Chain A
Amino acid sequence: MFLQQLINGLAQGSLFALIAISFSLVWGLLKMVNFALGEVYMLGAYAGWLVVTHVSPNLGLALAAGFAAGWAAGWLIEKVAFKALRGVPHIASLVCTIGFSFFLKEGATWAFGAETKGMPAFYSRTACTIAEANISWLQVIMVVIAVVMMAGLQLLFFRTKIGLAVRTVAMDYRTASLMGMKVDKVTSLAFSLSGALAGFVGVLAAVYYNAIFPSMGFVAGLKGFTAAVFGGITSIPGAILGGYLLGPIENLSVQFVSSGYRDFVSYSILIIFLLFRPNGILGKKTKL
């Protein structure tokens, strides 16, 4: 039973880790939180659902649609909430992203209706059984996709020119712009990428839980943010670690404490880390 909880926790952790990366991408660049990410995740799920039900029942295509929808949403949020509000206090952008989250949620309710939509099952058969613990193909695929995504991002940031540009702007955007860097382009790219990741995870989660509804992003966004703070929001490996720790911790707390305390455990971690170690487990020591 312990093993089964651990495996399910790791699968869930993959989802948390990917959302956490979305948060840390934006944070790393602008020291700001995009609170609409949960809703971008929801938007991605709907995009995937549209493709599966109207175009072709293909998981790859659905994931691509989620990625594209998330990219577009991330791009738009940056243009409105950050670029247009540059130079005014940070809080304005923050509130604007909260506004976006309401806008996207109510927009989805208007466009798709409030009722829960189902997603056809993909790869739900059991891949293997270890000591009575079942692992489904979907769980395997989720972990593999997550790991590949993370490795790809690490390569992008540390082995390419684009990555170098993002890291430079993250370090000091004023100096970077004085040196002739196209700060706007880099910021826009990071936002779009962050949104695309969130949209992508939205599709994965929609398939895994077989449920799509307008308010699905709230809990997902909060848990992803928790994972990011837990592992260290300033670093991508930190965000990954946070996600993969939070998933099993949640599942094991259900097993050994009580299911009612699942969110209590997660949000206690969030509060304790924000209070006492805001840099997370792996984060570099910076002033927040």
Chain B
Amino acid sequence: MRKTLTVFMVAALAATGIGRAATKADANTIHIALTAPITGDYAEYGTNFKRSVEMGIEEINAAGGVLGKKFVLSVGDSKGDPKESVNLAEKWISDPSVFAQIGDFTSTCCMASQPIYNRAGMIQLSPTASHTKFAAGSKWSFSIVGTQAMEQPFMAKLAVQHLKAKNIAILYINNDWGADTQKFFKENFEQMGGKIVAVESFFQGEKDFTAVLIKLRQAKPDALYIATMFNDCATISQQREKMGWNLPTLGPSSLYSPQLIALGGTSVNGLYSNVSFFTKDPDKRIQAYVTGFQKRYNDTPNFHAALAYDSIYLLADAIKRAGSLDREKVRETLAATKDFKGLTGSITFTPNRDAVKSYKYIQVVNGEFQLPKI
């Protein structure tokens, strides 16, 4: 028994050893790690991360790579779980060939693994973490989505100036991101003279919103602000429509996805949100990305996918400008990025390593996202 076990273990070790030699980096490659929720509740975002980064790396390598070296990618599945994200961070930093890490998807996961990247001195570039305390927390952490502190004043302005709303009710998902988002919307809207008449929250996984909608309705708001992911927003809107409660609705950029309309149907008509990436944008590079993505994966990319695509190009650009693979030097170059032309708008980092973004309003009109004239 022991003998078989030994043989088996040696075989297993050998197998992993061979696997390593075949897939991992050598002197002519730059090894990038991607941490993303490939399975679990956020799997659709994680899958899009993987697709976009793989697509970007293939394009960059086909064009000759960076500094004469090709990118190789390792993907780790964090399952949207901060504990898994931390484990993966430990794995990446213990592999000396890994040069930088892209990910994770949620602010919570990014903030949990941040101390590890900070300690090891490895770049942690998150495409989507929009919590105001994330990038500010370590000099190795970067976020390119823009924080809620910058996005929400833009939405509050829409509510006040365009919707002429005086009383707004808020419904948000109770996690780091949702709490942060609604806080900044509330503060800004109140500063502009509006009044928040009701605030309610729910936890991930909830599908019955009738009770909370009835309660919000009693506060008689002029508009409803929904700080959730698009799939929850679709369910909320449908249950609102079924109740016969019609009022203007608005929410953060997380609502922008073709799935919002596919799931929400007529109930999301009229909903306002904002984007810094729009699939129907006539810009040539955006169209090339969208059609390339559709051809490869038979699926339309969304905002989060485009951010992941920008991440790998941004990293490649920083390495090119730094002219070496010295981690500290690349970090400094990345932090000094100015007007990098990404698909999700131009990227310039603040001293806190958050990207300053420009936003556009979008509205659902007759079952389609459109840029309203505001």
> A residues engaging B (CB < 8 A)?
1, 4-5, 8-9, 12, 106, 109, 113-118, 124, 134, 136, 205, 209-211, 213-216, 218-219, 250-252, 254-255, 258-260, 262-263
Contact = CB atoms under 8 A, between A and B. Distances in A.
Contacts of B259: 115-116
A114 B235 CA distance: 16
Interface in B218-252: 218, 231, 234-235, 238-239, 242-244
Contacts of A209: 207-208, 235, 239
A118 B263 contact: yes
Contacts of B242: 124, 136
A216 B206 CA distance: 9
B205 A259 contact: no
- Which has the most chain B C-beta neighbours within 10 Å: A114, A218, A260? A114
A260 B208 contact: no
Contacts of A215: 40-41, 205
Which 4 residue pairs are nearest across A and B when measured between Cβ atoms?
A114-B43, A254-B211, A116-B231, A251-B211
B205 A254 contact: no
B263 to A, nearest CB: 4
B97 interface: no
B214 A4 contact: yes
B231 A115 contact: yes
Contacts of B339: none
Is the contact region of chain B dominated by helix, strand, or loop, or is it mixed?
A: helix
A115 B229 CA distance: 12
B39 A114 contact: yes
A215 B79 CA distance: 12
A162 B40 CA distance: 40
B211 A9 contact: yes
Contacts of B174: 260
Contacts of A4: 214
Contacts of B212: 254, 259, 262
Nearest to B229: A116
A216 B39 contact: no
A258 B215 CA distance: 9
B207 A262 contact: no
A169 B44 CA distance: 45
Contacts of B234: 116, 118, 211
Q: Interface extent on B, as a size class?
A: 20 to 34
Contacts of A258: 200
The main secondary structure of chain A at its interface with chain B is helix
B200 A213 contact: no
25 contacts: A1-B214, A8-B210, A12-B208, A114-B42, A114-B44, A118-B234, A124-B242, A205-B207, A209-B207, A209-B235, A210-B235, A210-B238, A211-B235, A213-B231, A214-B43, A215-B40, A215-B205, A218-B205, A219-B207, A250-B208, A251-B211, A254-B211, A259-B201, A262-B212, A263-B203
A260 B182 CA distance: 14
A67 B43 CA distance: 28
Contacts of B47: 114
Interface string B156-176: 000000000000000000100
A174 B208 CA distance: 44
A259 B198 CA distance: 11
B112 to A, nearest CB: 20
A250 B206 CA distance: 12
A214 B208 CA distance: 17
B231 A219 contact: no
B262 interface: yes
B224 to A, nearest CB: 14
A114 B42 CA distance: 7
Contact of A211 (B201, B202, B207): B207
Contact of B202 (A1, A252, A259): A259
Given A210-B235, A210-B238, A255-B211, 16 more contacts: A1-B218, A8-B208, A8-B214, A114-B39, A114-B40, A115-B44, A116-B231, A211-B231, A213-B231, A214-B43, A215-B41, A216-B207, A219-B207, A259-B211, A260-B203, A263-B203
A108 to B, nearest CB: 11
Given A134-B244, A210-B263, A260 B214 contact: no
A124 B265 CA distance: 14
Nearest to A125: B242
Nearest to B171: A259
A219 B204 CA distance: 9
Given A114-B43, A116-B259, A209-B235, A260 B201 contact: yes
